[in-house]
Every structure is written in structure tokens, then in C-alpha cells.
Chains A and B, each alone.
Chain A
Amino acid sequence: MILYCIAPFFWQFLTSIKDSKEVFAIPTTYIPREISLKSYYNIFTLRPFVRYIINSTIVASGTTILALIVGSLAGYALARLQLKAKGMIQKSILIVALFPQIVIIIPLYEMVRVLGLTNNPLALIIPYTALNLPFVVWVLTSFFKQIPQDIEDAAKVDGFTRIGILYKIILPLSAPALATTAILVFIFSWNEFLFALTFMTNDLARTVPVGIAMISGAASYMVPWDQISAAIVITTLPLVIVVLFFQKRIVQGLTAGAVKG
């Protein structure tokens, strides 16, 4: 199973360290005859690849932070406050989440253009956040609901303010859920292609997935597979780092011991 998941990635890695001629050699060589880092060198010199990575990092981190801030506030409100329209809000969140992206991309493009946000990271951060919010709110609401009401009441008696309770009690206790959602939102924003392609017309504003797609476009007849593979390997690394970083924070059973159990 793991092998099945990892095999394509491994193949990419092998391709990336091959010499460009060897990539097209027939019969296909599985183990590279000679290791060449030329493709790595190429993507950084022939293409503004560093820019792509920076752009992607800004967009993905911005989206993650914004989505978690807004999502935790909304999730907490839905989990705890006695709102009249609570049921309706929850349903509409779900419905929004079901819209196919392609439906909203054209009106959104108009908005981005009118606001003059084309080629600005915000043009991606805002729609990404909007797209991810239903999921974030959903996960966090159900997690917040599991936190015993008594703990919050104790905090109220102890003198915490409402915001204090959210930031000092609820969020630290929700670290596992926050980390998980953060990873997923980050991955989504890192990999998103459609919006990134549409809203970022300037080459220097592009994100990594679009940038990779453009590598092939640059050399018209020959697809430089070795460069593409190298790009993919490099861009996957930040994801792996992010996942590992947050995984440390996913300490299960953190709530155990709060109440008798």
C-alpha cells in the first residue's frame, strides 16, 4: 500500500537526477546510469523558480493563517453560543462547500480584476480562504464541541474573558485539530492550479504548480521531463517539512485528564 503510494514519487526523483538525454533513452533505464544534478541547476537558472516557491509560500501560509483565525472564531461561535440561526448557518456552510470551483471562477476573476488584485497574492489568499473555510469551520466546530463545558465554566469563574478562554484554553486544547486542518489547508493552497493560473498572469507572480506546468510550455517540442521532475521534488519538500512540523504538535490525548475519565 505504502509502496503503491510512494512509487510514482520515487520515479520522479530518479528521473530528476538523470541526465536529460537519458530521460528519453530507449529502452527506459530505471536506475540512472550517471547521477546528474543539472536539471536542478536548470530550473533555478532558466526559470524564476525561487520566485515561484516564495510566491507559493506566501499564498499557502497566508491562506492557512487567515483560514484558521476566521475558522476558529466561527467554529467557536457555532459550537458554543446560543444562536437562533445556528442550524441555518451550518447548512449554508455545507452548501457553499459543495459548489464546484469552476462555477465561481469567472465572477471571481471579474472581482479580482475590478479590485486591481491581479498578480497580488491576496487574489489567491482570499478565495483559497473562502474555499477552505467550510471545511475548517466544520472540523473545528466538532472539535470544540468535545471540549467539556465545565472547563470553560471554570475559566469564566477564574476570570478569563471570552477571548481569553478561546486563546488560552480552547485553542491550546485543540492543537491536534488545528494542526491537522492547517496541514490540509496548506497542501490545498500549495497545490491549487486553476485559480493560480487564472489570476496570476505575470510570470513572476506565479505559484509553483503553474510554474511547473509552464516549464513544458517554454520548450515547445521537447518536454523537459528531468526539469519537471526536479521541480516537483523540490516543491514537495516544503510540504513534507510543514507536515513534519505540525505533526509534532499533534499530541493525541491532550485533553485526557481534564475531567474524570
Chain B
Amino acid sequence: MAEIELRQINKTFAKKVNAVKDITFKANDGEFLTLLGPSGCGKSTILRLLAGLEMPDSGEIIIDGKKVNDIPPADRDVAMVFQSYALYPHMTVFDNIAVNLRLRKVKKEEFTRRVLKTSKTLGISDLLDRRPRALSGGQRQRVALARAIIRNPKGFLLDEPLSNLDAALREKTRGELKLLFSQLGATVIYVTHDQIEAMTMSHRIVVLKDGVIQQIGTPHEIYNVPINTFVATFIGSPKMNLIHGKIDDDNIVFTLNKIPLFVLPGKDRLRKYIGNDVIVGIRPEDITVTSRSHDETHNAQIVLCELTGQQTMVTLHIDGLELKVIAPSSFDASEKLVGIKIDPLHIHLFDPLSGQKIY
């Protein structure tokens, strides 16, 4: 296993599509690093650059301390699992898994032993004689994983390996994968657009948008200290509420349509923003629904209540503004007008122009 690093990588397709811009990050030895972002943000392109299937326009790719820009895919010693699995349809499962070892002239007894061992780990020992078309989606995914794992490579590149599975299987496999790779002590670059996968599996997450890195951090950091409005709203479900407002006076009262929303605990850093417009971000779980006529509250109208089981997602309208709130599952939806209470310790403030975090 090894470190995998990108330095200032740029890649443009067809002279126009700027797929990734100035990408720099490093996955440490044994780290599970996730690339997270919406569709088309360049995640697959980064993986393909790492695998050597695309050439960067500029920048350096370093695997295990060695610059590999000019090294072909076969010699980079990284294994890739494709979103479509890309199994060889005309080969049996056994041959699919063994093919890399065969090409590397590993002896027959040796690769047979390793195929058997790997397929046992992944629970596909019974399928070795079959062809890919006779497998279910979940089984194909396992064969694709086995094909990668058997190589014992310097690093794994996984492109949305769970996206073709149904919801129940995806959840189960998520945990299994995490365990498997932590047992292997493998360096993994994992691509997904699913924030739950990213949050639950990764050591660190790289959040991407339009080919640009937005933030790199642990799941905890990404969730609790989002660097801009994109990261703030992309992670978390339901999404963080963003409210346009103004910081008012010395007490740093935050106001919405001239109605004070809450008082921030005096922060010197915010003094320079007094009188400025800002965006306030509040996660749905940091808002409490109270009964009407409570102190420090606004009256809000309940528009929608969605019970998910362990909680209720409440949509409120307050002064023409929509807020999502998470309430306990015991929440009584019969009341139409309620108050809200915002925890000022858990709010995020963003610059309305740049979207960058200011507090």
C-alpha cells in the first residue's frame, strides 16, 4: 500500500470542457479517501487520470513517492473498479479474477490459490464457473471487487461501486466494504455522489464541484464546518436552511425583514460585518419547534409534516421563507401555528457574494 497524490492537475476535454481544475490532494497510506460531488463534477475523470487512462494537461501524479505521469496503466499497480463493473463477458468468473495474475506470469498453483482465497473472502466461491451474464448485479459487483483485490495493488480506485445496487443491498455492502478495506489496510480512492456513503465510509472527503475542490476534511469537519454554501447544502439531508438576512447592531442581532431572529453571542470577529447582508445557514436539527408565544421565537406556519420513522421532517413558512426542521417522531402536527427556536451556537454565516464562510 502507498500514498497517492495529485499536484495541480488540470484536464480539458476537446479543448473546451474543463473537466478538472488545479486538483491537489493526497491520500495517505491506508487512507479511505472519498471524492464526493454532483454528477459531472469530474470525479471519474480524476480516477481515470490516476489509473493512467487519461493524461493530464498539466500537473503531477505521484503514487508511492514516484511520479507516474508517463507510466502506462498496466504498470501503475493500482486496481480500478468501474461503475459498470466492466467484467469480461466471454470469460468465466474465475478467469475474470485471475486475468491480471496470469498476465503477470504468476504460476498456476499460486493464482489458483489466490483466486480461491479472494472469492471466499467475498462469498463468490460458488460462482467461479459462471459467466458474468449469469450473475446478479450484486454478484457482478463482488467479482469486480475480487478482480481488484486479488492484485494486492498499491491503491484501489473505486468508481461508484454501489450505485447499481438496490437500496437494501447498498446499505449492507457499504459496511462490508468499509470493513474489508480497513482489514486490508488499503489506500482507497472512492468516488461517489452519495453523501451517506461518503460520510459513513471515509477517513476524509474531498468535495468537488465543477472540477474544483471545494473542501477536504474528515466527515466531521465537512458536516460541522462547511467552508462555503455549496458544501453546506450538499452535505446533510434534509439540506441546511439558508436565510438571507442582515447583521444589525452592536449586539449582533440577526434580523430577517427587520424582525430580530436571534442574538449572536458577542463575537468580535463579526463586528466588521455589522450592517452587512449575510447568509445564515442553520441545519434542520438545530431548529426547535416550540409552542406559540414563547420568548425569542417567531410564529411559523406548518406547511408539511413528513414522518420518516425515527423523526419528523417539518416544513415551515415564516415571513415568506421556507424552513426545514427536524422534530421528534412524536411531533404533534395538529397545531398549525408554532414558534421556532434557533440555537445560535450552531449557526453558520456565509458571505452572500462569494458564498464563503465568515463565521
Contacts and interface: CB of A to CB of B under 8 A. Distances in A.
Interface of A: 148, 150-151, 153-161, 164, 169, 172-173, 253-260
Nearest to A255: B89
Contacts of A150: 82-84, 86
14 contacts: A151-B86, A151-B87, A153-B48, A153-B80, A158-B99, A159-B100, A164-B103, A257-B140, A258-B89, A259-B86, A259-B87, A260-B137, A260-B140, A260-B164
Interface residues of B, number: 32
B180 interface: no
B85 interface: yes
Contacts of B103: 158-160, 164
Contacts of A148: 84, 86
B73 A257 contact: no
Contact of A257 (B72, B79, B99, B135): B135
**Top 10 nearest A-B pairs by Cβ distance?**
A257-B133, A259-B84, A150-B86, A159-B74, A154-B86, A258-B89, A257-B132, A159-B103, A156-B73, A172-B90
Nearest to A151: B86
Contacts of B100: 158-159
A160 B73 CA distance: 10
A70 B132 CA distance: 30
Given A158-B99, A159-B103, A257-B87, A153 B133 contact: no
A256 B87 CA distance: 11
A150 B84 CA distance: 7
Given A157-B80, A256-B133, 20 more contacts: A150-B84, A151-B87, A151-B88, A153-B48, A154-B80, A156-B52, A156-B72, A156-B73, A158-B74, A158-B99, A159-B104, A173-B90, A255-B89, A257-B87, A257-B89, A257-B131, A257-B133, A257-B134, A258-B84, A259-B86
Interface of B: 48, 51-53, 72-74, 78-80, 82-90, 99-100, 103-104, 131-135, 137, 140, 147, 164
Given A153-B53, A154-B82, A256-B133, A169 B74 contact: no
A154 B53 CA distance: 9
Given A160-B74, A253-B133, A258-B132, A155 B88 contact: yes
Contacts of B88: 151, 154-155, 169, 258
A205 B204 CA distance: 75
A260 B85 contact: yes
A258 B87 contact: yes
A191 B248 CA distance: 93
A259 B133 CA distance: 9
A258 B134 CA distance: 10
Contacts of A169: 88, 90
Contacts of A256: 89, 133
A254 B90 contact: yes
Given A151-B86, A169-B88, A258-B88, A157 B132 contact: no
Nearest to A251: B90
